[in-house]
Structure 1
Amino acid sequence: MKPSEDAPIACGLLISDVLHEAGLPAGVLNVVTNDRADAAEVVSALIADERVRMVIFTGSTEVGRAIGVQTAQHLKPAVLELGGKNALLVLEDADVDCAVDAAVFGSFMNAGPICMCVDRVIVHRAVAEQFTAGFAARVRALPCGDPADPGTAVGPVVNAGAAQRVAALVTDAVAREARLAAGTGQVEEPGTLIRPVVLTGVTKEMRIYYDEIFGPATVIHVVDSVDKAVTLANDTPYGLTAGVITENLATGLEVARRLRTGIVHINDQSIADEPQAPFGGVKSSGYGRFGGQAGAEAFTDTRWITAQTSGHAHYPI
């Protein structure tokens, strides 16, 4: 396991300690930490090592592409779980209160840096005004600040660079006439805190339309039909997960079939991960699955073994 340089304890060393205390034999899990400057060299060495039979990577699409190339060169299977531009579709018949609850949680859990978080809420015009007002009000009231305070709902992002990147996406959108329904997009002390942002009026010319946000901001798009909602949801290079809020299960299933994502949750937001379920995306969100039977197959090789139980096989020559 090579954890992120931004969080080597939580994403590697702590997991190793927990598994060791649970009885995992020494040497089964090996954690490799490194300086960021050495990351590419370390990754290349790990992939090339003959003891490594397959590679699982969770991270950015940019790095995932590089890892995919290297694993292919060594003919080693890879599972790549990469970025997302996940949409929550709020249809005309949606329970608006339910949709608001789902959107708040899906957009701002963990301050937004989750590959499954809601980057876009695509809402039918018939309920758009009610939804936007309720959603923005809830978001403005979210307690922000110290993650050690049990009352905090949205804490800081992982480092100053991550905060500045999200702030730049919001600043670019506002400069191009997007409107702030909640938040300012400004970085606050200690240099890693951004209060939750909701943007409306976002267009394709703005970076935030296509770029993964991976932080405490989301966008509301208003559409006039289910067809337009599906088209907009699919207008992204990513395809990880999505949610559909509707009172009609048949409609939800029909919409789910048309979305180009690896995961769809009907009457729920986009964040959900269970160990028995296959997890993964399509397009620039990566390939392969972990979890459930698909995960078992990803981590194993199917073999064919035969045995003659009596006599001898007969051969033509």
Structure 2
Amino acid sequence: MTDTLTNAAQIFASQAVSRDPATDALIARYPYHNPDEVEAVLQAGAAAYRLWRDTPMTERIATYHRLAAALRERSETLAALITSEMGKPIEAARAEVEKCAATIEWIADNGPAILADEPVSIEGSDQVHVSYLPIGTILAVMPWNFPLWQVIRASGPIMFSGNGFLLEHAPNVMGSAFALQQAYEAAGFPKGLFANLSTDNETVARVIEDPRIAAVTLTGSMRAGAVVAATAAKALKKSLLELGGSDAFIVLADANIDLAVEAAIQARFQNTGQVCLAAKRFILERPIAEAFTAKFVAAARDLKMGDPRDPATKIGPMARKDLRAELHGQVQRTLAQGATLLLGGYEVEGPGNFYAPTVLADVAPGMAAFDEETFGPVAALTIADDLEHAILLANTSDYGLGGNLWTADVANAQRIARRLETGGVFINGFSASNARIPVGGVKKSGYGRELSQFGLREFTNAQTVWAKAYR
């Protein structure tokens, strides 16, 4: 994923700037918090945390249900804001808001049992249990590609566990950040418990070091993750990193090609290809490679590109011009390294940050589109000689976030999944996130888990309580 700490020239500015990626029009400017304002945010967050950690579970549950209702009440406004700030097609933006509300409801309904004291039986002991207790305010450095979902995915479990949440969002979606803060406040959370911080890298580093920050979570690039993790480690604080991926989409010879192509198109081109947990490398077993390629290219060619406010649009603009230029550079380097261009491969002329849906064939290890994360509407196709070769190719990556496997033999697929070096494997489907399952990766895709019971306990103190009665 693109660097959430480095956002073009904005990093050197004194303000965050939001522009419509479909038209280049200026939406708003958000001045960075000055030192006094940062201090006020930290003070308010510390006070709100002390109040929230002692709030009865029944009230936490009720507050979360009010938050879900607040998100749904603002659905059209929030969806329009997402579309205008980062170019997400409007139907996908509406779905993002609903996914956030549904996840908050799931946490409210299931979180209490997950966080309940866990009894432990030890022979000869009277009473032993483990409590999952909050640890403080968590700083979250979040990306722009899912302006609401990425934040809810982190804040939902973190705050239900009793922690506070300080958000440092990407500069180009700052409007979404403040709108989400308003929804939290409308739901009745203590003021300052969920707070938005608009600032620069240097200030973020100081905030991580501040004793009122207990830990940090980041979704972003490997470079940003390394910087944040080093800063947190120096301060002896926990960090969670989700650093993007280059998921393999393996199609074996016995797969249903039509279904696989349909899933592959959605897997690669949803959100204009700007998804960390998404298929990027398509590894095709040789007997079906030609048929899959022909159908995949035809389907990609038919994707409607244009105004993201049009419900029929499937491919909107990329979020920023510098990201489009970076993606085009990867395509050009891959072609120079020997790949074949089957579709697209160009920046669309005119206003906005549009990039044509692109399909590259004959992509191999050592090429940019195979080795790097391509964050945009570009698919890389590679032919595998057999199953063993497909597994080898899939694992030949610095990343290990997710993976996809298409085959008629599901029992065998279950065995193959254990050999794939990823945080998740999706059989006869494509990578997705859901409140019920953990999200996270291995290798240079990061560490730690969000969502499910793992996310709810990720930023807690697993406190052992061992009580013996007087004899």
Q: Under TM normalisation by the shorter chain, which class is it?
A: over 0.9
Q: Which residue of structure 2 aligns with residue 232 of structure 1?
A: 393
How does the TM-score come out when normalised to structure 2? 0.63
Q: Does 1:214 align with 2:375?
A: yes
* CA shift for structure 1 position 117: 1.6
Aligned to 1:22: 187
| CA shift for structure 1 position 309 | 4.4
The answer as to whether partners of 2:248 and 2:403 remain within 8 angstroms in 1 is yes
* Residue pairs, 1:154-233, within 5 angstroms: 154-233=315-394
Aligned-partner residue type, residue 82 of structure 1: L
User: How far off its partner does 1:233 sit?
Assistant: 0.4
Which secondary structure state, in structure 1, belongs to the residue aligned with residue 460 of structure 2? coil
Shift of 1:88: 0.5
Partner of 1:314: none
Q: How does 1:37-48 map to 2 (within 5 A)?
A: 38-39=200-201, 41-48=202-209
Please tell me whether residue 5 in structure 1 is matched to residue 166 in structure 2. no
Deviation for aligned residue 1:74: 1.1
Contact 2:438 2:455 in 1 (8 A): yes
SS at match of 1:8: helix
Instruction: Show the counterpart of 2:427.
Output: 266
2:229 counterpart (68, 93, 102) = 68
Secondary structure of the 1:198 match is: strand
Match of 1:250 among 374, 396, 411: 411
Counterpart residue identity of residue 5, structure 1: P
Residue 275 of structure 1 and its aligned partner are, at CA, apart by: 1.2
Number of aligned residues: 305
Partners of 2:466 and 2:329 lie apart in 1 by 61
Question: Which residue does 1:275 correspond to in 2?
Answer: 435
- Which has more helix, going by share of residues? 2
Query: What residue in structure 1 maps to residue 464 of structure 2?
Result: 304
- Residues 365 and 396 of structure 2 are in contact (CA less than 8 Å); yes or no, is this contact kept in structure 1? no
Does residue 33 (structure 1) correspond to residue 193 (structure 2)? The answer is no
- Structure 1: unaligned runs, 5 residues or longer: 312-317
Whether the 8 Å contact between 1:171 and 1:185 is mirrored in structure 2 is no
| TM-fit CA distance, 1:292 | 1.2
8 Å CA contact 2:343, 2:360 repeated in 1: yes
Q: Cα deviations across residues 17-43 of structure 1 (Å, max 9, x unaligned)?
A: 222222222111110012xxx22x122
Deviation at 1:7, TM superposition (A): 1.8
- By how many angstroms is 1:191 displaced? 4.2
Partners of 1:185 and 1:250 in 2: CA distance: 42
Match of 1:127 among 282, 285, 288: 288
Partner SS state of residue 97, structure 1: helix
The residue that corresponds to 2:311 in the other structure is 150
Cα offset, 1:310, TM superposition: 3.9
Counterpart CA distance in 2 for 1:6 and 1:228 is 41
Q: Distance in 1 between matches of 2:344 and 2:188?
A: 47
Do 2:185 and 2:191's aligned partners in 1 also have CA atoms closer than 8 Å?
yes
**In structure 1, what is the equivalent of residue 448 of structure 2?**
288
- 2:460 maps to a residue whose letter is T
Cα distance in structure 1, aligned partners of 2:442 and 2:371: 16
Measure, in 2, the Cα distance between the counterparts of 1:306 and 1:255: 42
Asked if structure 2 preserves the Cα contact closer than 8 Å seen for 1:241 and 1:281, the reply is: yes
Deviation per CA, 1:199-249: give whole Å up to 9, x if none. Answer: 001233432221100111010111121111010000010000011111111
Aligned to 1:57: 218
Deviation, 1:305, is 2.8
**Could you give the per-residue CA deviations for residues 36-78 of structure 1, whole angstroms, max 9, x where no partner exists?**
xx22x12211211111111111111110011111111111111
Q: Please give the alpha-carbon distance, in whole angstroms, between the structure 1 residues aligned to 2:420 and 2:383.
A: 18
Letter in 2 for 1:28: L
CA offset digits 1:249-268 (Å, max 9, x no partner): 11211221110000111111
Residue 27 of structure 1: SS of its match in structure 2?
Answer: coil
Partners of 2:331 and 2:196 lie apart in 1 by 36
Contact kept? 1:188, 1:194, Cα under 8 Å: no
For structure 2, list consecutive stretches of 5 or more residues without a partner in the other structure: 1-166
Separation in 2, partners of 1:269, 1:68: 30
Q: Distance in 2 between matches of 1:143 and 1:169?
A: 23
* Secondary structure in 2 matching 1:269: coil
Q: Stretches of 4+ moved more than 6 A in 1?
A: none
Match of 2:3 in 1: none
